[in-house]
Structure 1
Amino acid sequence: MTRFIVHLLLGASLFAPPVVRAAEKVLIVVSGEGRDAGRTRPGYEFDELSQAWLIFKANGLEVDVASPQGGAVEADKYDPKEPFNAALLADTAAMSQLADTRAIAQLRPADYAAIYVVGGKGAMFDLPASRPLQRLIATAWQNGAVVAAVCHGPAALAGVTLADGSSIVAGRRLTGFTNEEEALFGKKWAAQYPWLLEDALRSRDAQWSEAPLMMPHVVVDGRLVTGQNPYSTVGVAEAIVRGLGHTPVPRTPGRDERAMQLVEQLRGGDVRGATTTLQRSTDQFHVELIGMLGFYQAKAAADNLAELRPALQTMELAMPYMAEPQLKLGVAEAHLKLGDRVRARILVQQVLDAVPGMEQADALLKRIDG
Structure 2
Amino acid sequence: MAPKVIVVLTSYGHIEASNKPTGWYLPELAHPYDVLSSKGVEIVVASPAGGAAPLDPASVEAFKSDASSTAFLESKKAVWENTQKISSFHGKSGDYAALFYPGGHGPMFDLPRDADSIALIKEFVAAGKPVAAVCHGPAAFTGVTLDSGKHLLAGKEVTGFTNVEEDQAKMSEFMPFMLEDRMKAVGGDFKKAAEPWAEFVLVQDGGKFITGQNPASAKAVGEAIAKSIGV
The 1:39/1:98 distance shift into structure 2, 3 A limit, reads farther
Query: Cα RMSD over matched residues?
Result: 1.8
- Residues in 1 aligned to 2:141 and 2:175: alpha-carbon distance in whole angstroms: 15
2:7 is paired with a residue whose SS is strand
| 2:53 corresponding residue in structure 1 | 73
When you count helix as a share of all residues, which structure comes out higher? 1
| 1:55 corresponding residue in structure 2 | 35
| 2:4 corresponding residue in structure 1 | 25
Matches within 5 A, 1:174-213: 174-185=158-169, 187-188=170-171, 190-211=172-193, 212-213=195-196
The offset of 1:245, in angstroms, is 2.2
- Residues in 1 aligned to 2:72 and 2:196: alpha-carbon distance in whole angstroms: 28
| 2:229 corresponding residue in structure 1 | 244
Aligned residues: 220
- 1:83-117 CA-to-partner distances (Å, cap 9, x unmatched) read 212332343xx422311211111213413211110
- Residues in 2 aligned to 1:131 and 1:27: alpha-carbon distance in whole angstroms: 17
| 1:262 corresponding residue in structure 2 | none
- Residues in 2 aligned to 1:135 and 1:218: alpha-carbon distance in whole angstroms: 25
Matches within 5 A, 1:307-322: none
Matched, 1:115 2:99: yes
- Residues in 2 aligned to 1:124 and 1:75: alpha-carbon distance in whole angstroms: 14
The 1:174/1:53 distance shift into structure 2, 3 A limit, reads same
The offset of 1:159, in angstroms, is 0.7
The offset of 1:53, in angstroms, is 0.7
1:28 is paired with a residue whose SS is strand
User: Runs ≥4 in structure 1, deviation > 6 angstroms?
Assistant: none
Matched, 1:232 2:217: yes
- Residues in 2 aligned to 1:176 and 1:204: alpha-carbon distance in whole angstroms: 14
- Residues in 1 aligned to 2:161 and 2:51: alpha-carbon distance in whole angstroms: 27
- Residues in 2 aligned to 1:45 and 1:215: alpha-carbon distance in whole angstroms: 17
Q: Which amino acid is 2:12 matched to?
A: E
Give 1:216's match in structure 2, choosing from 199, 204, 221: 199
* Ranges in structure 1 where 5+ consecutive residues have no aligned partner: 1-21, 247-370
* Ranges in structure 2 where 5+ consecutive residues have no aligned partner: none
TM-score, with length taken from structure 1: 0.57
- 1:315-353 CA-to-partner distances (Å, cap 9, x unmatched) read xxxxxxxxxxxxxxxxxxxxxxxxxxxxxxxxxxxxxxx
| 2:132 corresponding residue in structure 1 | 148
The offset of 1:145, in angstroms, is 1.0
When you count strand as a share of all residues, which structure comes out higher? 2
Q: Assess if the C-alpha contact under 8 Å between 1:216 and 1:228 holds in 2.
A: yes
Q: Which structure has the larger Rg?
A: 1
1:219 is paired with a residue whose SS is strand
TM-score, with length taken from structure 2: 0.89
- 1:259-280 CA-to-partner distances (Å, cap 9, x unmatched) read xxxxxxxxxxxxxxxxxxxxxx
Q: Which amino acid is 1:204 matched to?
A: V
Matches within 5 A, 1:157-172: 157-172=141-156
1:194 is paired with a residue whose SS is coil
The offset of 1:35, in angstroms, is 4.6
Q: Assess if the C-alpha contact under 8 Å between 1:112 and 1:140 holds in 2.
A: no
Q: Assess if the C-alpha contact under 8 Å between 1:169 and 1:205 holds in 2.
A: yes
- Residues in 1 aligned to 2:110 and 2:119: alpha-carbon distance in whole angstroms: 15
- Residues in 1 aligned to 2:200 and 2:118: alpha-carbon distance in whole angstroms: 25
Comparing 57-66 with 69-78, which one deviates more in the overlay? 69-78
1:125 is paired with a residue whose SS is helix
Comparing 72-81 with 204-213, which one deviates more in the overlay? 72-81
Q: Assess if the C-alpha contact under 8 Å between 1:41 and 1:122 holds in 2.
A: no
- Residues in 2 aligned to 1:113 and 1:39: alpha-carbon distance in whole angstroms: 38
Q: Assess if the C-alpha contact under 8 Å between 1:73 and 1:101 holds in 2.
A: yes
- Residues in 2 aligned to 1:76 and 1:192: alpha-carbon distance in whole angstroms: 15
2:167 is paired with a residue whose SS is helix
Matches within 5 A, 1:303-342: none
The offset of 1:135, in angstroms, is 0.6
| 1:45 corresponding residue in structure 2 | 25
